[in-house]
Structure 1
């Protein structure tokens, strides 16, 4: 796996000895985080025993965890957060750019995604610096972003369908389905609902026939 990543990084960027050092230091923990994430997924394309580097969703999750793990230990914990010229920051940036190039999905390594989440062909999605609970799932064209520097708070088991958006001072409860093309901004959404429509004309439906639990149960355990 290390050789695979190094080869790809070399094709895009000039890899350095310091990059190899950080990969050696944090590769095993990043693999463990990835497999722990997969362990919670009830999806035939994911296994808790291995990472398929040719599966775009699996590889996206792994590269995110690798960059995020280096960030947490070498930048965040060592209080050199604003040192954008540090060697640790450079390898994180390379991994972030590599991930964006392959998955066409923008999730910066400083964004704290939860212990387990899932993606389905996430091309065109941008996930910003929100507080996000476990069981988060998104697919193509989704956006989580800020408004005037304020970012959403998203509960557990929130599913974002294609081209949906959650922006600004939004608070999303637990067990919520965000419908395709839905646009939520600066709103509070309660638990156990399905949300449709465009801000400010949002339509909220209760958990009809346990639809949310059915979908959660079919994807996470």
Structure 2
């Protein structure tokens, strides 16, 4: 496994660094493998880089399983995550093959999933608070903030909004007072 990692390490570290440098609460140019969120993202970038460059399922699966065991995240190496994203707490996060916009924020127990084989499209600067979900034929507009415990299932959000649970499974979208993107990222 070592030669495979060595061939792809510089690229994976560069991708990790780009992400770390963009997150406001992290010190630019300082990857800390003891910081579980940073290490979680690094393991994903390493597995995904190896997959992109070599299509080596055996080594990528080992890295995926290591990430799952250490961080409690289900983030398969074939999934194309954005160039910049932030994981607040990785435990319980499940991410399907979907379309992810840049500057995504994920917290514990957030889920992106398919419904009858249809995956959501998530815009730029979306925040998923704990226990939220985006499932199926959903189009989540840029700048949407999905409140804790809210499920966006086969629904759309207009973007630049706070999304709350309404009555009877409906969503309530209120204008966002400020772009969430600015709270989390150096843009």
Give the alignment's TM-score, normalised by structure 2.
Answer: 0.95
Structure 1 residue 146: deviation in Å? 0.2
What SS does the aligned partner of 1:72 have?
Answer: helix
Unaligned runs of 5+ in 2: none
Q: Deviations over 1:175-203 (max 9, x none)?
A: 11000000111111112111111673211
Query: 1:64-213, aligned counterparts within 5 Å?
Result: 64-75=44-55, 88-197=56-165, 200-207=169-176, 210-211=177-178, 213=179
- 2:4 is matched with 22
Between the aligned partners of 1:145 and 1:74, the Cα distance in structure 2 is: 27
Between the aligned partners of 1:125 and 1:147, the Cα distance in structure 2 is: 17
**Equivalent residues of 2:40, 2:90 under 8 A apart:** no
Q: Flag the structure with higher helix content.
A: 1
**Equivalent residues of 1:35, 1:47 under 8 A apart:** no
Between the aligned partners of 1:26 and 1:122, the Cα distance in structure 2 is: 24
- 1:220 is matched with 185
Where does structure 1 differ by over 6 angstroms across 4 or more consecutive aligned residues?
A: none
Q: Deviations over 1:31-63 (max 9, x none)?
A: 0000011111111xx233232111100000100
Between the aligned partners of 1:202 and 1:216, the Cα distance in structure 2 is: 22
Number of equivalenced pairs: 185
Unaligned runs of 5+ in 1: 1-18, 76-87
The CA RMSD over aligned residues, in Å, is 1.2
Give the alignment's TM-score, normalised by structure 1.
Answer: 0.81
